[in-house]
């Protein structure tokens, strides 16, 4: 079994190479992206021949900041929150640690999982789906600030659970940085758009490093229109919750106990996880496995009824 499937989701090229292409296509449940993406046709046209507009960037940041509940002065656009993560050690020098289990990139940025210094964690967490309450997060921030240390909260999946977000706590004088991702909730991972929220001096540092054109014109147009689409956002949250409950019922019906409270994906734990991954893949259903936790398998949300039926059949075959 290839290790490509334990590093990141979305390795359809590797899946096709190993298990073959399929006439009916693959059901990719490995990413945790919303399977019903925001309709890009609603975005205004953009001009590939022109440099990205400074005014368009400011407009995107204003509408995104309004959704997050933060002043635009505390927000910087980045070409995907992964880039913001990778820059962190150069912006906040000194020791840091992450809370495991976590994203692979968290361990790459701050390899230690104990000690002191900057603390990096995701809420909702990936891959176990744990959601820490706002009270829990406020207490964690207080402890970090009492020790004169930073708290970094990766909120890549927070759009589906906005009540847990720390975005409105960002302010000058606070040792808090929040990372937000566009692609997961809006189902458009290929846009590569994200945001850093933090004190103005941190935002200025990110802006200096990223330059005048941090994202391309398409990301500006699509992101601005999507964040302004409040009716779609509310509908998507309800739809994601309904799909999450349906996935839990389906998994329970096949004898699995879903783990986690993040509605965009769920985790199951079984001794047969490696064999289950293989069997599902041979039926054209790609999930996410973990080399550090071989009993875990993470599944995102199916899209259309054909995907639900194929997942149900593949689980039954397994």
Sorted by where each begins, the domain ranges of the chain are 4-37+231-317, 40-228
Average pLDDT, the chain: 95
What whole-number distance in Å separates Cα of residue 233 and Cα of residue 30?
Answer: 23
What whole-number distance in Å separates Cα of residue 90 and Cα of residue 30?
Answer: 31
Residue-wise pLDDT for 29-80, tens only, equals 999 999 999 999 999 999 999 999 999 999 999 999 999 999 999 999 999 9
What whole-number distance in Å separates Cα of residue 39 and Cα of residue 186?
Answer: 9
Model pTM above 0.85:
yes
Percent of the chain with pLDDT over 90: 93
Peptide bond into 127 cis (omega under 30): yes
Q: Are 37 and 229 in contact (CB under 8 A)?
A: no
What topology is assigned to 40-228 in CATH?
Answer: 3.40.640
Which range is least confidently modeled, 21-35, 156-170, 263-277? 21-35
What topology is assigned to 4-37+231-317 in CATH?
Answer: 3.90.1150
Please say if the pLDDT value at position 2 is more than 80.
Answer: no
Residue-wise pLDDT for 10-20, tens only, equals 888 999 999 99
Residue-wise pLDDT for 76-121, tens only, equals 999 999 999 999 999 998 999 999 999 989 999 999 999 999 999 9
């Amino acid at each position: 079994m290839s290790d490509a499937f334990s590093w990141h989701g979305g390795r359809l090229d590797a899946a096709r190479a190993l298990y073959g292409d399929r006439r009916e296509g693959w059901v990719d449940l490995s990413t945790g992206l919303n399977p019903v993406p925001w309709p890009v046709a609603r975005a205004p046209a953009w001009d590939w021949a022109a440099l990205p507009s400074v005014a368009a960037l400011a407009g995107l940041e204003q509408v995104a900041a309004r959704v997050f509940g933060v002043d635009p002065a505390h927000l910087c656009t980045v070409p995907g929150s992964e880039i913001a993560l990778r820059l962190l050690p150069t912006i906040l020098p000194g020791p840091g640690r992450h809370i495991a289990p976590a994203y692979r990139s968290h361990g790459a940025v701050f390899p230690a999982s104990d000690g002191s210094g900057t603390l990096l964690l995701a809420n909702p967490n990936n891959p176990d789906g744990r959601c820490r309450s706002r009270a829990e997060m406020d207490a964690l921030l207080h402890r970090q600030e009492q020790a004169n240390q930073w708290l970094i909260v990766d909120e890549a999946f927070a759009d589906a659970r906005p009540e847990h977000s720390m975005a409105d706590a960002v302010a000058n004088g606070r040792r808090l940085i929040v990372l937000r991702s566009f692609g997961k909730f809006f189902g458009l991972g290929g846009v590569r758009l994200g945001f850093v929220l933090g004190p103005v001096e941190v935002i200025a540092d990110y802006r200096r490093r990223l330059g005048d054109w941090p994202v391309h014109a398409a990301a500006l147009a699509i992101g601005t229109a999507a964040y302004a689409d409040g009716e779609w956002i509310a509908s998507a949250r309800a739809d994601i919750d309904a799909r999450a409950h349906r996935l839990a019922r389906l998994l329970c019906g096949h004898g699995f106990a879903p783990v986690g409270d993040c509605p965009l994906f769920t985790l199951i734990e079984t001794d047969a996880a490696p064999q289950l991954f293989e069997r599902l893949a041979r039926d054209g259903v790609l999930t996410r496995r973990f080399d550090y936790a071989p009993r875990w398998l993470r599944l995102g949300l199916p899209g259309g009824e054909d995907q639900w039926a194929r997942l149900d059949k593949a689980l039954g075959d397994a």
